Structure 1
C-alpha cells in the first residue's frame, strides 16, 4: 500500500487514525477531513473490504464528502468518517467491538462525532455511547431530532428528486414520471414509497432481489435485476446503494436524462462529472441531495449541547432547503457550463476555507 499522503483521495486530511484492539476484535479507521466549521461529523460503517487499503480509501472519500455535505447544509460541523472492518461474510458485530470503537472515538477528544451508516443501527450507537458522548443517532423521544437517519435522508432525497424533475423535465410533479431506483433499503425504499404516493412509475432493483420484488409488489412497481437497473429507459435514474457507480462505461450506457439519488460518492472519478455533463444529463450532487440524515443527527448532537434547535421540526425546516441549494448549483452550472458536481465542490471548499 502506498503512503496515505500519496493516495489520490488524501486531499490534506487533518488526520487519518488507524485502530486495532485485538482482544475486542476491532480494526477500524477514522478519517478527519476538516474541522474548520466544527467537530468532524460523519457516520461509521461496518463493512467487509477485500483489502484494508480499500477501507482507508473509502474512509478518505467519505470523510471529504461529509465536509462538503455538512458545509452545504449550513451545519456548524466538519467532516469525518469511521469504518469498522468486518471479516469475510460480514459477521454480526459484538458489543466488545462497538465499545472498543467508542473508546477509539473518545481518544480523539471530541474532534470526531459518529452516527449510523451502512451496516450499523441505532442500537449499535447505544453500545458505542457507553464509552463516549461523541455519538449521535441515538433513540430519542417523539418529536425530537435523532434516531435512525435513513427516513430523514429519504425525505430530503424525495424533495431533491422532485426539484430535479422540475429542472430537468419541466414537470411540476412526479405523476407519470418513470424513476428507476437502485437500492431499496432505508433510503431507497422510503423514496420509492413517497414517489409511488406521488403517482410516479417505478422500476426497482436491489442486490437483495427478494427485497426489490416485495416492495415492487407492495407499490405496484416493476423490478429488474441489480445488474440491469442502470440501463432501464427512464426519466430519472436514482442511485441509493453504494457509491462509485457512475463510471465512464455506465454513464455512456445511461438511458435517463436525470440522475438524482441518495448514494454517497456516486461519481467514480473526478472526471466523471464532466462525462455526465457532456451527455446532457442533469445531476444532483449526492452530498447536497442526501443531507437529510446528517442534518437529523447533527441537530440531535448540537441540541443536546444547547447550541442549535434539536426538534424534528427544526430538522424538517433545514431539509426543506435542499431543493433551493440544488437550484443554485444547477443555475450556476447552466450559466458557466461547469458540471454541477464541480460547482458544488467549489462552493463547499470555499465554505470550509479551502476555496
Structure 2
C-alpha cells in the first residue's frame, strides 16, 4: 500500500481536505480516493471520535471502500467520504452544516455528499443551501431520492438470501436464525424483510432501547451487544460500525454465513483469509451494501426512476455469486477476490 504520509490507511488518495471553521465549530475531513470512474461519491458521517486521528482513519478507509463499492455496482462514480467530528454532546447546528456545504462546493463537483451515520435528510437540506453537490434529498413526485437506508437494507436482505442459497441450499429464510448487530436504519430494514419471510431474529445494539424497539417490531429477541458476535445462528448480519472482525472475534464466530450492511467490517485484509479458513461464507461489505449509493447515484445523475434503482439493487446477488464462484475456484477468500475486481475497475490493479 502506498503510504507516503505515514498514514496506514492512505491508499494513493487523490485529495485529502481538513476543514475547520471556528465560528461554527465545524471540524471535518473530506477524503477523495478515486475519480477514475466519475465524481467521488460517498456520504458524510457525523460521529464523536476519541481523537482526530480516528476520524482520519475512518475517512480514509470509508472513501476507499466507496471507490470499490461504486465500481462493483457498475456506477459512473468514484469514491469519497466525509466525516464531521462531533463533540461529546453531538452538537450539530445549521451553521455547521452550511460551512460543510461550502467546503463541498469548493471542490467544484469532485465530491458528492449524502447521508451516512448520524446524518439525516433534514441535514442534507441544510447542506444543499450551500452546494448542489449533494444527494439524499426529499423525494418530489416520482423522482428518486430521500433516505438511502431502505435501499441499502433491501440489497443486504437480497444478499443474505443469496448467501443462504449458496451455503445452506435454502431458497427462503423461513425458520432460519439471524443474529443482527445494530438497530439503526439499515438494520431495521433488514430485520423487517427477514421477519416477513419467517426468520427468527436476535438483535443487539449499544442502545438497548433501540434494540428492544426493533425486536418488538420484528418479533425478535434482544441479546447483549457483547454477545452478538459469538451467538450461534445461521447468519450473522453486522449492520453497525466497522472493524469488528479480527483474529479474536473470527475465532469465536458460530455461524456459517456473515452478511451485513456495516462498512469496513474486516479490521485487516488478513481477516478475510481467516474467515475463509474457518469455512464461513463472507459477503464483502461494499458489494452487499451498495443499495443506498445506487439510489444516490440515480438521484444525483437523474438517470432513472424507482424501477431502475430496484433493478440495479436486484443485481447485487449476481455480483456476490460471481465473487463466491471465483473464490471457490481459486481458493482465495471472497474479500480478496472482490478487492482485486474493484482495483481493476478503478485502474489500480
- TM-score in terms of structure 1 length: 0.96
Secondary structure of the corresponding residue to residue 49 of structure 1: coil
Structure 1 residues 218 and 335, CA gap change in structure 2 (3 angstroms)? same
Does 2:48 match 1:54?
Answer: no
* Aligned equivalent of 2:27: 27
Residues 194-234 of structure 1: CA deviation (Å, up to 9, x unaligned) = 10000011111111111212222232212101111111100
**Matched-pair contact (CA < 8 Å) for 1:143–1:313:** no
Equivalent residues in 2 for 1:62-81 (5 A)? 62-81=62-81
Query: Does residue 325 of the first structure (1) align with residue 319 of the second (2)?
Result: yes
Q: Is the 8 A contact 1:150 1:186 kept in 2?
A: yes
Count of residues in correspondence between the two structures:
347
Task: Describe the SS at the equivalent of 2:206.
Answer: coil
Q: Deviations over 1:68-116 (max 9, x none)?
A: 000000000000001111011322x100000000000011111000000
Long gaps (5+) in structure 2: none
**Partner Cα distance (1:219, 1:51) in 2:** 36
What is aligned with 1:289?
Answer: 288
SS where residue 139 of structure 2 aligns? coil
Residues 38-85 of structure 1 show CA distances to partners (whole Å, capped at 9, x for unaligned) of 000000011111110111110000000000000000000000001111
* CA RMSD, Structure 1 to Structure 2 (Å): 1.0
- Find the residue that maps to 1:227 and give its secondary structure: coil
Please point out which of 342, 347, 350 is paired with 2:344: 350
- In 2, Cα distance between the equivalents of 1:220 and 1:69? 32
What is the distance in 2 between the residues matched to 1:55 and 1:262? Answer: 20
| Cα distance, 1:142 vs structure 2 | 4.3
**Equivalence for 1:13:** 13
| 1:265 equivalent in structure 2 | 264
Partner of 2:330: 336
How does 1:194-273 map onto structure 2 within 5 Å? 194-273=193-272
Matched, 1:178 2:177: yes
**Alpha-carbon shift at residue 118 of structure 1 (Å):** 0.5
Which secondary structure state, in structure 1, belongs to the residue aligned with residue 19 of structure 2?
strand
What TM-score does the superposition give when structure 2 sets the normalisation length? Answer: 0.98
SS in 1 for 2:138: coil
Q: Is the 8 A contact 1:28 1:101 kept in 2?
A: yes
- Structure 1 residue runs of 5 or longer lacking an equivalent are none
